[in-house]
Amino acid sequence: MKPHFDHVALIGLGLIGSSLGHVIKQHGLARRVSGTARSAATRETAMRIGFVDDVHEDPADCVRGADLVILCTPVGTFAKLAEQMAPALKPGAILTDAGSVKCSVIEAIKPHLPEGVHFIPGHPIAGTEYSGPEAGFAELFEGRWCILTPLPDTDDDALARLKAFWEACGSEVEIMTPDHHDLVLAITSHLPHLIAYNIVGTASDLETVTEKEVIKFSASGFRDFTRIAASDPVMWRDIFMNNREAVLEMLGRFTEDLASLQRAIRWGDGQALEELFTRTRAVRRSIIESGQDTPAPDFGRHGVPSQETEKPAKKTA
Amino acid sequence: MKPHFDHVALIGLGLIGSSLGHVIKQHGLARRVSGTARSAATRETAMRIGFVDDVHEDPADCVRGADLVILCTPVGTFAKLAEQMAPALKPGAILTDAGSVKCSVIEAIKPHLPEGVHFIPGHPIAGTEYSGPEAGFAELFEGRWCILTPLPDTDDDALARLKAFWEACGSEVEIMTPDHHDLVLAITSHLPHLIAYNIVGTASDLETVTEKEVIKFSASGFRDFTRIAASDPVMWRDIFMNNREAVLEMLGRFTEDLASLQRAIRWGDGQALEELFTRTRAVRRSIIESGQDTPAPDFGRHGVPSQETEKPAKKTA
């Protein structure tokens, strides 16, 4: 395949950065891949695994001459990185990122950018609960959405090139405004993570039920929350710090609804509960129909389907 | 294998009842399996699939002569069923159930029971989000916990026989008091389900983000909640109606903790967030170490493990 870019610079070599390195190498999407990471150990690991061609301690050295620069660090680091990289960015280069929030990222990066650099904020909706340079794999983006949130003055050609790059990584690309992205992610990703972190915290603090018991009987529901509550702490701290308005808005609605459920339980209003529980079942069906999950029952038994469902598909979208 | 019981009666032929039928047949744990279900269609399906030998419309007819009777209907039906079955129960028979709450189940059943019947409340911690007579499979209980909550006057021999039966179904048996069971399940199962139902409801009601978008981008976290929010509505209505005290207690703690997280987000207290998110990661590790889940990353890609993890095991515990 003809390379999409001559020289790609990956800023941050964790799960996203290393997966990008792998997929670029696997499909020959660039002639050269440079990487930077704060920790020398991470840079060494990246070179040893071989998903980058060269590593640099200084982000400016990493981006020098690159025609695609992808920020793959926690979003709280973006302002400082943009400031450091700015003088070394090549005119005509595309700068994008993989951050889970977009409005605050634009505020953090835009003021530092020199003329002639195409800044197109992005967000691959892909990840696992693992982090670090050894967690990456080339298939991470396969069949997953990647959202791009171009600015009013974004160059059409640059946008088309970035879109083609993500498609070559296996993703489907969706374009939306930064504001709308932040609302969509607040409900589909940020609030679910917040609630998962919260219930795992609540469960660990109980005096009446031991942590050992919580773990032992976790397959009855709790377990499903612990997986997403195991995601990278610094990345998630930064997401909540940087999508405050949208998260607080969604959290307010969630709490209001929960108070109403609490009231229904206290006063024995079974009808209200049954109505909600019936409605939510339909949402699950839509998610399976849209290919965003498999119908296989998941009660700690990957690969043991019930009689009425098929084996989990290898690729779901 | 020598049958554990001569004649087992399954009251309710949904996911649990049908799975019990399958595992009893597969391992020859009884000479005869009778079943009852309110709906004629369910009884016919059960006979067609063949996990029961005979079906009855009247629960009393079903339990007549049985030496093991297992209630597998939503817990809200237990009082009436106990009243109907009581005159037909054989002296010396063991009566147990599969309900997710235990204190209120004892209150509902005990007053109706004749002398000489051994009532031992039980709860297999196993399930999927599917329901009905076609959802069952023989391996459902394999490697899962089954909690028994004997009463102060429970006969030791009867308890030993029931324990051996569940072990023959593939389960590991844990004994605890009914009160403690209800607390443990409130945090490990009931609260997680309540929160999952709630967030799916909140997401469906938004005006700023469409349901289509929620579904499309659900793989970023939301999806994990929809699976458990697809569980049987009537069964879960009854659980919340019947474990009110413990659920409200756990919900109170959850809400308190969530308010404190909300405050941390509003005031930009990143350190508080990072501390919690780091602590919750350790709980996940313990769950994997205890065999209650696999370490495979689960981002809509069953069977595509990352480099550092093993393939999902077929059996996890």
3-state secondary structure labels for all residues of B207-221: CCCCHHHHHHCHHHC
**What's the CA gap between B194 and B217, in Å, rounded?**
22
How many Cα atoms are found within 13 Å in the side-chain-facing hemisphere of A132?
12
Residue B244: phi and psi, rounded to 5, are -55, -50
Cβ distance of B230 and A280 shorter than 8 Å: yes
Is pLDDT above 60 for A307? no
Torsion of CA A279, A284, A286, A291, to 10 degrees: 180
Tell me, what amino acid is at A235? Answer: M
Instruction: Tell me the residue range of the domain where B197 lies.
Output: 180-268
> What per-residue string of b and e applies to A152-164 under the rule 16 or more CB within 10 Å gives b?
eebeeebbebbbe
The string of DSSP codes covering B261-280 is HHHHHHTT-HHHHHHHHHHH
CA distance to partner chain A, nearest, from residue B157 (Å): 26
Tell me, what amino acid is at B221? Answer: G
Nearest CB among A125, A244, A248 relative to B220 is that of A125
> For residue A23, which residues of chain B lie inside 8 Å, CB to CB?
none
Cβ count within 10 A of residue A115: 5
**Residue B17 belongs to a domain with what CATH number?**
3.40.50.720
Closest by Cα among A203, A202, A189, A171 to A231: A189
> Domain end: B176, B206, B236, which one?
B176
Cβ distance of A183 and B241 shorter than 8 Å: no
Tell me, what amino acid is at B278? Answer: T
Phi-psi region of B118 (alpha: psi -120 to 50; beta: other; left: phi over 0): beta
Q: CB-based contact (8 Å) between B278 and chain A?
A: yes
> For residue B194, which residues of chain A lie inside 8 Å, CB to CB?
258, 261
> In the β-sheet with B122-124, what is the strand arrangement from edge to edge?
B122-124, B145-148, B172-175
- Tokens (6 digits) for B53: 């030998």
**What's the CA gap between A103 and A110, in Å, rounded?**
11
Is pLDDT above 60 for A118? yes
> For residue A201, which residues of chain B lie inside 8 Å, CB to CB?
257, 276, 279-280
> Domain end: A156, A176, A196, which one?
A176
Sign of the C-alpha dihedral computed for residues B298, B303, B306 and B310 taken in this order: positive
**Of all helices (H) and strands (E), which one includes residue B34?**
strand B30-36
Residues A109 and A44 in one domain: yes
Average pLDDT of span A153-168: 97
3-state secondary structure of A54: strand
Instruction: Give residue-wise pLDDT tens across range A24-65.
Output: 999 999 999 999 999 999 999 999 999 999 999 999 999 999
Beta strands in chain A (DSSP E): 5-11, 30-36, 54-56, 68-71, 94-97, 118-119, 122-124, 145-148, 172-175
The total of structural domains in chain B comes to 2
Residues B147 and B29 in one domain: yes
Nearest CB among A140, A217, A298 relative to B125 is that of A217
Q: CB-based contact (8 Å) between A50 and chain B?
A: no
**Of all helices (H) and strands (E), which one includes residue A260?**
helix A244-266
Residues B229/A224, Cβ–Cβ less than 8 Å: no
Tell me if A317 is assigned to some domain.
Answer: no
DSSP code at position B122: E
CA distance to partner chain B, nearest, from residue A90 (Å): 33
Residues A250/A190, Cβ–Cβ less than 8 Å: yes
Residue A267: phi and psi, rounded to 5, are -95, 5
Tell me if A143 is assigned to some domain.
Answer: yes
Token pair 């670090």 in the structure block, residue = A132
> Domain end: A158, A176, A194, which one?
A176
Most confident of A119-133, A174-188, B302-316: A174-188
Residues A195 and A79 in one domain: no
Contact partners, residue B4, CB within 8 Å, separation at least 6? B29, B30, B68, B161, B164, B165, B168
Residues 184-203 in B contacting A (C-alpha not used; CB under 8 Å): 184-185, 187-203
Is pLDDT above 90 for A10? yes
Contact partners, residue B147, CB within 8 Å, separation at least 6? A217, B122, B123, B124, B125, B173, B174, B175, B176, B181
3-state secondary structure labels for all residues of A206-252: CCCCCHHHHHHCHHHCHHHHHHHCCCCHHHHHHHHHHCHHHHHHHHH
Tell me if B42 is assigned to some domain.
Answer: yes
CA distance to partner chain B, nearest, from residue A3 (Å): 25
Residues A40 and A146 in one domain: yes
Nearest CB among A144, A209, A279 relative to B187 is that of A209
Residues A35 and A162 in one domain: yes
Tell me if A310 is assigned to some domain.
Answer: no
- Tokens (6 digits) for A204: 């660990």
Residues B170 and B185 in one domain: no
Residues A68/A8, Cβ–Cβ less than 8 Å: yes
Q: So what's the pLDDT on residue B186? A: 97
Tell me if A110 is assigned to some domain.
Answer: yes
Contact partners, residue B67, CB within 8 Å, separation at least 6? B5, B6, B7, B8, B90, B92, B93, B94
Q: So what's the pLDDT on residue A284? A: 87
How many Cα atoms are found within 13 Å in the side-chain-facing hemisphere of A313?
11
Strand-pairing partners, residue B175, are B148
Residues B123 and B14 in one domain: yes
- Tokens (6 digits) for B263: 């405050």
Tell me if B220 is assigned to some domain.
Answer: yes
Residues A11/A59, Cβ–Cβ less than 8 Å: yes
Please give the residue that has the higher pLDDT: either A286 or A160.
Answer: A160
Beta strands A68-71 and A94-97: pairing type? parallel
The string of DSSP codes covering A114-153 is PTT-EE--EEE----S--STTS--TTTTTT-EEEE---TT
Q: From first to last of the 317 residues of chain B, give the pLDDT tens digit.
A: 567 899 999 999 999 999 999 999 999 999 999 999 999 999 999 999 999 999 999 999 999 999 999 999 999 999 999 999 999 999 999 999 999 999 999 999 999 999 999 999 999 999 888 899 999 999 999 999 999 999 999 999 999 999 999 999 999 999 999 999 999 999 999 999 999 999 999 999 998 899 899 999 988 889 888 888 988 999 999 999 999 999 999 999 999 999 999 999 999 999 999 999 999 988 888 888 888 787 776 544 343 333 333 333 333 32
Q: So what's the pLDDT on residue A34? A: 98
Q: CB-based contact (8 Å) between A207 and chain B?
A: no
Instruction: Give residue-wise pLDDT tens across range A91-100.
Output: 999 999 999 9
Cβ count within 10 A of residue B33: 26
Closest by Cα among B92, B94, B90 to B68: B94
- Tokens (6 digits) for B66: 């049985």
Instruction: Give residue-wise pLDDT tens across range A229-260.
Output: 988 999 999 999 999 999 999 999 999 999 99
Tell me if A316 is assigned to some domain.
Answer: no
pLDDT band at A297, cuts 50/70/90? low
Q: So what's the pLDDT on residue B174? A: 97
**Residue B233 belongs to a domain with what CATH number?**
1.10.3660.10
**What's the CA gap between A251 and A249, in Å, rounded?**
5
Residues B22 and B135 in one domain: yes
Specify the range with the lowest mean pLDDT, choosing from A4-13, A210-219, B97-106.
A210-219
Residues A60 and A105 in one domain: yes
For residue A156, the Cα-to-chain-centroid distance in whole angstroms is: 25
Is pLDDT above 60 for A120? yes
Cβ distance of B220 and A189 shorter than 8 Å: yes
Please give the residue that has the higher pLDDT: either A300 or B253.
Answer: B253
Nearest CB among A129, A134, A284 relative to B227 is that of A284
Residues A138 and A221 in one domain: no
- Among A187, A255, A257, A275, pick the best mutation site for testing chain B contact (most B Cβ within 10 A): A187
Tell me, what amino acid is at A54? Answer: D
Residues A42 and A133 in one domain: yes
Is pLDDT above 50 for A112? yes
Residues A132 and A207 in one domain: no
3-state secondary structure of B306: coil
Average pLDDT of chain A is: 91
DSSP code at position A29: -
How high is the ipTM of this complex? Answer: 0.86
**What's the CA gap between A209 and B186, in Å, rounded?**
10
Tell me if B286 is assigned to some domain.
Answer: no
Q: Which residue of B has its CA nearest to A312?
A: B302
> For residue A139, which residues of chain B lie inside 8 Å, CB to CB?
301, 304
Cβ distance of A247 and B265 shorter than 8 Å: yes
